[in-house]
């Protein structure tokens, strides 16, 4: 497969430039990739809402425009983003607050390539079905998960 060959090429390239073994080079490359994804995930979650709707949303423009409020006819503003699923790491939940009253709502968005964690398939016991379990990147706050606590069934 092309992707696999590409990955091997990257690993070999690192081996030549660092003198590391294949396993070490692969591990370090993965750690770098995870770190990059972690920083990206923290950036995706941590931003301050815009003061006005005249400027682009600080979330990076990956949100839907806020809806008009039924109660006060002001516009809802994107104010927060958090992981929106327990297993799908590219699913986020956007929170919108009305700029004129206390109305608010949430919207689920999928951001391909911007995961909030890593999904792992874990096989529990010999005959058990594999389960998908997501691990949140350090620094990302998951509203449905407690940090540093392994989820128990």
Residue 145 CA to residue 3 CA, distance in Å, equals: 33
CB of 134 to Zn ion, least distance (A): 23
CB 107 within 8 A of CB 78: no
By residue count, the chain amounts to: 153
| CB of 33 or CB of 73, closer to Zn ion | 73
We find the least distance from the C-beta atom of residue 71 to Zn ion, in angstroms, to be 5
Question: Which CB atom, from 35 or from 72, has the smaller least distance to Zn ion?
Answer: 72
By beta-carbon proximity to Zn ion, the closer residue of 49 and 118 is 49
Please state the closest distance from residue 144 (CB atom) to Zn ion, in A.
21
Closer to Zn ion by Cβ: residue 102 or 128: 102
Closest distance to Zn ion from the beta carbon of 94 (Å): 7
Closest CA to 151 of 124, 113, 114, 116: 124
Residues that bind Zn ion (CB under 5 A): 57, 59, 63, 69, 71-72, 74, 78, 98, 100-101, 103
Task: State the residue for tokens 């009305």.
Answer: 98
Cα–Cα distance measured from residue 134 to residue 149, given in angstroms and rounded to the nearest whole number = 12
Structure tokens, 74:
């002001």
CA distance 78 to 76: 7
């Amino acid at each position: 497969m092309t992707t696999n060959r590409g990955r091997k090429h990257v690993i070999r390239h690192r081996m030549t430039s660092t003198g590391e073994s294949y396993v070490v080079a692969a591990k370090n490359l993965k750690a770098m990739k995870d770190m990059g994804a972690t920083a990206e995930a923290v950036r995706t979650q941590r931003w301050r809402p815009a003061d006005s709707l005249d400027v682009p949303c600080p979330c990076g423009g990956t949100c839907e425009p806020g809806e008009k409020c039924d109660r006060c006819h002001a516009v809802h503003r994107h104010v927060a983003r958090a992981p929106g699923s327990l297993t799908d790491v590219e699913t986020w939940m956007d929170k919108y607050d009305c700029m004129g009253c206390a109305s608010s709502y949430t919207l689920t968005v999928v951001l391909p390539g911007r995961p909030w964690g890593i999904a792992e398939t874990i096989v529990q016991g010999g005959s058990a079905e594999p389960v998908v379990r997501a691990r949140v990147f350090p620094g990302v706050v998951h509203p449905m998960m407690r940090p540093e606590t392994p989820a128990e069934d």
